[in-house]
Structure 1
């Protein structure tokens, strides 16, 4: 999870104050001291930390908190609100052109993940917002950049405009926009050149492109694993190009998270998107409030639901609910559900989005072993069609055959059969009417 070290420290710190019936000024001071240390360790800018702690203290020591019925809870609310405000307060959406196409210029240093992020953003716009984007290969210096973007375009079935490595990047951008108008593309995303470090030539070229095409957005792609350097890079690019938003990459990695918490406060520019993995569908709109909730272990139900909605066919979900109610849910259905869950992202990341999951026994720092999931799939795939639909026919000799075919043991096959029956009963209970109210199954997984 993003901000893992920071999240652990903050959650342990605020846990001490949550259950208190009364909170003294001294309690607040001790908590804010711990919060300050946690943020500094996470590589958050010193001035940013100082200002944040000052605001938290002022609010937490105020009358509304110390004299409230649940002072501990109120302090946590204050910390969450101030963390969210630090990261921008509310989601910042893409500015849309009055007349299509909306032009987005992607800038950043080499190695930050700019070209991949360009493809991810186009994919997100098409899948989630039903847009028709065009990608533009305007990085004529890095030999593999054009090929990389064309490969991404092929994988995503999206058009890529390119004039090769000999053309002028300004001409490429202008001709691409004309082509997009002809072909009725509503978004043009320009992948510009990067460098290993900021230099005059790079900035001069980017300024020329910006002046020529007048983009609706200039997105700076920043590697969140570079810590304070990311903030320095953001300041430099913003000075020269007046960027309109930041896209953080590798936010799923072993990052201390300081860049994300500092960039908005230092540059005043919103974080628009965050890369949460290497797959082409692992780019998310950045929601400061949801991220603050995740950091403080409060979960992120809205993002979880959104992930589910992108992967679940409503008609199929209804059919699945009927099968569960009638106890006709089979191993075939189970395989289908597993695929949908896997498409939503790593299971441990999904669990972290559930409120209170960090407090549940065995859930804290849960590492889901992909091998175990592969074993389950292999066992089901080694069953005959009849066995998948009617597991009751699986006798001892069939179990041996399934175990041999899946490279597992008979005890593993027995365990899966037992768990499957228990799960069916549990799912049946969850969809049964209770006290006159009907409770529907809304998630595509068990």
Structure 2
């Protein structure tokens, strides 16, 4: 997961200073040395690292912090504020045209996931903003790109405008905008050609398309896994074509997150969206303050609520909530709950959005591999109704029968039974967390986790 290493290093560093009644300049200096190493390891641009450390250090040794009752917590707040500022300060929203259609150009190098991101963006704009988008296949040099966009359009039930590979991209874009006006489609998203590297031909073509009608947005799609190269690509495209924002893909992968922390400062262009998986709904608006909160292990409740509202069946969620209240939660309900939450993304990532969960004991021992859901289902379906309702009756003989029926080992049955118990214990811990607060978090579809 992106930022994993950076997050662990920063959390470990600030934990040392958090509980201190008093701190001095030496404490801050030592902390900043650790922060510097953490940022460099995360592949953050060196100039950005120096600037960040300088600002945090200056603020942290100020009189207001040093003489306060909770200096450690104040320093953490400063780190959070500056991380937020580093990534743009506040969310940069899509600029929709007052005279539809809004025209969005998608640009980038091959391999960054541009065509897939084009489909994801159309899906998000339709779901979140109630827009009627039109996808435009303007990458005529790669026949597979036209076919890929058409396939995405069918999967999402979103219209795709294409003229094959014999018509110029400029003409395709011109006709697509006219078609959108006629059909009352209010957003045109143009999937332009990519290259393996930046060249004059590519840039001239993008300039020609841009000259047709000044686009409302020009989004550069870059692969977060390329690290500092992503920043260099952003600078090159901005100099040649002019971009209005960046979409970072593969931020869910094994990436150190340096691009996300560097790109805004170096290019002065905001990150608009982030790709967090392969599914067509795995694109999120980028919120700098929420990302800073995630990096520092403070959770991200607002994003969690938004995910739940988009993906969870509220009626089913209410049923499960009632079962938690009445202590009638069974293995079948466990499976239902997992499938509901899985719609929101990887379970491990979802739980990390809940404040305090990263500090809960036992969380590291629970297996959150989403691919295991099918396997778990097979084991549960091999149980009798009595066993699903009262797992404590499952003795050695029953375990053998369940293992045989599901095609797995007794050890795997034991593991599931333990995970079920761990999950219940974790929910009990979370109950304690929520009852301490006068105002209870209301997360549609997740309320049962706080009972």
Would the TM-score normalized by the shorter structure come out above 0.5?
A: yes
Aligned residue number for residue 279 of structure 2: 279
Instruction: Output the CA distance in 1 between the equivalents of 2:79 and 2:426.
Output: 38
Q: Deviations over 1:330-361 (max 9, x none)?
A: 44433322211222111222222222333333
Instruction: Output the CA distance in 2 between the equivalents of 1:396 and 1:40.
Output: 53
Structure 1 pair 364/28, CA: closer, same or farther in 2 (3 Å)?
Answer: farther
Q: SS where residue 363 of structure 2 aligns?
A: coil
Aligned residue number for residue 354 of structure 1: 354
Instruction: Output the CA distance in 2 between the equivalents of 1:71 and 1:232.
Output: 38
Aligned residue number for residue 54 of structure 1: 54
Shift of 1:420: 5.7
Q: SS where residue 403 of structure 1 aligns?
A: helix
Q: SS where residue 248 of structure 1 aligns?
A: strand
Structure 1 pair 365/13, CA: closer, same or farther in 2 (3 Å)?
Answer: farther
Aligned residue number for residue 169 of structure 2: 169
Shift of 1:413: 4.9
Structure 1 pair 102/61, CA: closer, same or farther in 2 (3 Å)?
Answer: same
Q: Does 1:218 align with 2:218?
A: yes
Q: Deviations over 1:115-147 (max 9, x none)?
A: 111011111112233322111100001231111
Aligned residue number for residue 92 of structure 1: 92
Structure 1 pair 400/160, CA: closer, same or farther in 2 (3 Å)?
Answer: same
Name the stretch that deviates more: 281-290 or 149-158: 149-158
Structure 1: stretches of 5+ with no match in the other structure: none
Tell me if structure 2 keeps the 8 A contact 1:39–1:258: yes
Aligned residue number for residue 305 of structure 1: 305
Tell me if structure 2 keeps the 8 A contact 1:357–1:364: no
Tell me if structure 2 keeps the 8 A contact 1:43–1:259: yes
Aligned residue number for residue 29 of structure 2: 29
Matches within 5 A, 1:44-443: 44-363=44-363, 368-370=368-370, 372-383=372-383, 400-409=400-409, 413=413, 442=443, 443=445
Q: SS where residue 242 of structure 1 aligns?
A: coil
Tell me if structure 1 keeps the 8 A contact 2:366–2:422: no
Alignment length (residue pairs): 444
Tell me if structure 1 keeps the 8 A contact 2:366–2:419: no
Q: SS where residue 178 of structure 1 aligns?
A: helix
Shift of 1:388: 5.4
Structure 1 pair 181/341, CA: closer, same or farther in 2 (3 Å)?
Answer: same
Structure 1 pair 200/420, CA: closer, same or farther in 2 (3 Å)?
Answer: closer
Instruction: Output the CA distance in 2 between the equivalents of 1:80 and 1:422.
Output: 32
Q: Deviations over 1:265-309 (max 9, x none)?
A: 011110000111122111111110111111112121221222222
Instruction: Output the CA distance in 2 between the equivalents of 1:53 and 1:417.
Output: 48
Q: Does 1:15 align with 2:15?
A: yes
Q: SS where residue 197 of structure 2 aligns?
A: coil
